Structure 1
């Protein structure tokens, strides 16, 4: 466009110079004067053109400079605003870090108190065992030497904090997405051998050691839940609690105080106890369960042996989950008059069992799932959750992993299946 404009202006300048020279020639000037006039007029036009071009160019440059200055001022203003926001963000981050540090210090202080109290209790028990004039203590007097050795192993494991946390995933069906974990405690002896609950429960419960085990397990569950929450992983953890812990008047107030301080985790920590323990609970245990429920915590029943339960009673006790072993559920299914029913509830279609429990706010979880065939039958019953080695076997959460806040990453990996004894 600029070249076309220059060509047109040049043509106009030539025409103007030619007109002037022809005018002088018509007025009687000699050809030399006409040519001189033509050249002079042409030079004058180009000089005038150059002057105008320089004027317009200077104006454009001044406009560009003003634009750059305005942009620079805007940029400086934005930089100042960003600097202010960064300063505010740094203050928020520093305050949040301080808050997290204080919270962590509080948790560590709680753990230290628990460990100290547990050690004092264990030392008193050990001194009573070793004192030659100690009075007989019932179960301990009649215990075989092997039981005494096992008791000492359990006490030493607790005193040395050789209590491991195992987690097993609970998945939604049919998506098989991890929505919960169940926690298990495992003790280790001095050689590192893992003591299963079937081994140590027989000596831990009579000696009142289950409160100590439940305390450590609960604290570690809270740590895991908080670390998962930091990674925006909205999952819950089922934490086993014994009937002895619920009925321990010395243990429970401290337990309740700890849960009061962590009641923001009410939706993520579910306390689990067996069906038999739930049915054997007395007024003290029921009152303590109600105290936990008042903080927003719920309960789960496992080791279910009878599906003909009082669902209203479960709902009143804030039981929100019912765990049924896969094999038991399969054994309960039977055909009557051409329809599939549950043997314990013959008047109810098997496919309506999960709907019945949901009316009372209770979800059924089929546990100990080992085969795909079982999954197909579970889905036919409209059950929403499954647990078992098929979906992921229990994995130990080591101290290093716990300290680094790393959630278990290989729960759902395949591999050699092994059966893990549950609570």
Structure 2
């Protein structure tokens, strides 16, 4: 930019020389001297302006530097005051006071222990038996009655392909759109009636029958998931899985083979594991669940009687949801969690786990759970189990039934 100014000064001086020579009839030497004088004066004025500008810039920089140094000096003074205050503090006396308090606390604890021991000795001397401890709360074993269908009839029905799968939706609030579907095994009786799982599923023993039922349900789930994805309507399916299948090596091998052969739709399969069985699982069976999770399938913990779970462990294995009974939760929330009911869902969400309220019986329960941030619900108020669309079913010679239909969307 400065060079361009000098060029303009030279051109102006040349113009002055031309005007003096042609217009004022100066001699060439006089015109040349006039141009040199004009150029010198212009250069001096330009240099003076540039020097004033540089001096002003330098003064501003010095002022800024002075302010910074003043701020640093103030910060140094404050830091020195704090250091002096810390150095003057008598930490030794404070530590001595803390040690004295700890000593007193230890003495009190020892005295309490001695008093309790004396009371127990006095009771033993009097011959009075100590009060019996309260019996632990038994698991809700009678939530479902014992199977009313004999095992022989169950085996015969399975052999005759009279075990069918219906679906029950899990919806998302507030839109009430399907989040996924439970595959519910049901037994077609000879008279055309349908028996639910509590009526025929063995509760103790007969693991081979349970394995067979769960294998058939898994086969049905794979076919439905493949056909739904082919039709452009992918869905999530919750497939029951129990310790009867997890603990048997042959059943585990078949399960792994089915998942490996259907990797494309494995992410659509969510295995439902009972909370009671989860608590009783040894590490070997939990490692089987981890291997299933490595094959893109996930898990859902069902029938939870408490939400005081190790969500970190559940997330590490591959659980994505925890189900609990809606009515029991609303009646006694303190039995499920120590959190406020509006905070438990957000806490579980930190571990990428959704809470699912099951057994919804009225609209008020839906509103309550939606206000608490629990947006996945299921129950008879929403929809009961119903047949799958015929185009998604496994082709088996089963007599058609006519209960209410629930479309798999």
2:406 pairs with 1:411: yes
2:176 pairs with 1:176: yes
2:353 pairs with 1:362: yes
Q: Give the RMSD, CA atoms, in angstroms.
A: 2.6
2:370 pairs with 1:375: no
| Cα distance in 2 for residues equivalent to 1:398 and 1:204 | 33
- Residues 266-305 of structure 1 aligned to structure 2 (within 5 Å): 266-305=266-305
| Cα distance in 2 for residues equivalent to 1:177 and 1:267 | 19
- Residues 55-204 of structure 1 aligned to structure 2 (within 5 Å): 150-202=150-202
Taking a change above 3 Å as real, the CA distance of residues 350 and 387 of structure 1, as seen in their structure-2 partners, is same
Give the structure 2 partner of residue 345 of structure 1.
Answer: 337
Taking a change above 3 Å as real, the CA distance of residues 391 and 355 of structure 1, as seen in their structure-2 partners, is same
| Cα distance in 2 for residues equivalent to 1:187 and 1:240 | 16
Residues 330-385 of structure 1, C-alpha deviation per residue, up to 9 Å, x if partnerless?
A: 1233xxxxxxxx44433x22111110001111001111112000001011110121
Give the structure 1 partner of residue 262 of structure 2.
Answer: 262
| Cα distance in 1 for residues equivalent to 2:323 and 2:288 | 22
| Cα distance in 2 for residues equivalent to 1:204 and 1:264 | 35
Give the structure 2 partner of residue 219 of structure 1.
Answer: 219
SS of match in other structure, 1:222: helix
Structure 2 stretches lacking a partner, 5+ long: 1-145, 396-402
Taking a change above 3 Å as real, the CA distance of residues 230 and 274 of structure 1, as seen in their structure-2 partners, is same
C-alpha deviation, 1:282, in angstroms: 1.8
Asked whether the equivalents of residues 329 and 336 of structure 2 are also in contact (C-alpha less than 8 Å), the reply is no
SS of match in other structure, 1:273: strand
C-alpha deviation, 1:205, in angstroms: 4.1
2:385 pairs with 1:390: no
SS of match in other structure, 2:152: helix
C-alpha deviation, 1:203, in angstroms: 6.3
Residues 175-216 of structure 1, C-alpha deviation per residue, up to 9 Å, x if partnerless?
A: 101121111111223333323222222367435211100000
Taking a change above 3 Å as real, the CA distance of residues 284 and 400 of structure 1, as seen in their structure-2 partners, is same
Taking a change above 3 Å as real, the CA distance of residues 304 and 149 of structure 1, as seen in their structure-2 partners, is closer
| Cα distance in 1 for residues equivalent to 2:229 and 2:246 | 27
C-alpha deviation, 1:250, in angstroms: 1.7
Asked whether the equivalents of residues 188 and 194 of structure 2 are also in contact (C-alpha less than 8 Å), the reply is yes
| Cα distance in 2 for residues equivalent to 1:309 and 1:262 | 31
Asked whether the equivalents of residues 240 and 271 of structure 2 are also in contact (C-alpha less than 8 Å), the reply is yes
Asked whether the equivalents of residues 224 and 392 of structure 2 are also in contact (C-alpha less than 8 Å), the reply is no
SS of match in other structure, 1:361: coil
Taking a change above 3 Å as real, the CA distance of residues 283 and 371 of structure 1, as seen in their structure-2 partners, is same
- Residues 321-336 of structure 1 aligned to structure 2 (within 5 Å): 321-333=321-333
SS of match in other structure, 1:313: helix
SS of match in other structure, 1:350: coil
Give the structure 2 partner of residue 230 of structure 1.
Answer: 230
Asked whether the equivalents of residues 151 and 204 of structure 1 are also in contact (C-alpha less than 8 Å), the reply is no
Asked whether the equivalents of residues 150 and 203 of structure 1 are also in contact (C-alpha less than 8 Å), the reply is no
Taking a change above 3 Å as real, the CA distance of residues 409 and 263 of structure 1, as seen in their structure-2 partners, is farther
Give the structure 2 partner of residue 250 of structure 1.
Answer: 250
* Deviation larger for 304-313 or 350-359: 304-313
Asked whether the equivalents of residues 154 and 204 of structure 1 are also in contact (C-alpha less than 8 Å), the reply is no
| Cα distance in 2 for residues equivalent to 1:354 and 1:332 | 16
C-alpha deviation, 1:231, in angstroms: 2.4
Taking a change above 3 Å as real, the CA distance of residues 283 and 345 of structure 1, as seen in their structure-2 partners, is closer
Taking a change above 3 Å as real, the CA distance of residues 192 and 285 of structure 1, as seen in their structure-2 partners, is farther
Asked whether the equivalents of residues 348 and 355 of structure 2 are also in contact (C-alpha less than 8 Å), the reply is yes
| Cα distance in 1 for residues equivalent to 2:203 and 2:385 | 24
Taking a change above 3 Å as real, the CA distance of residues 223 and 401 of structure 1, as seen in their structure-2 partners, is closer
SS of match in other structure, 1:267: helix
What is the TM-score normalised by the length of structure 1?
Answer: 0.56
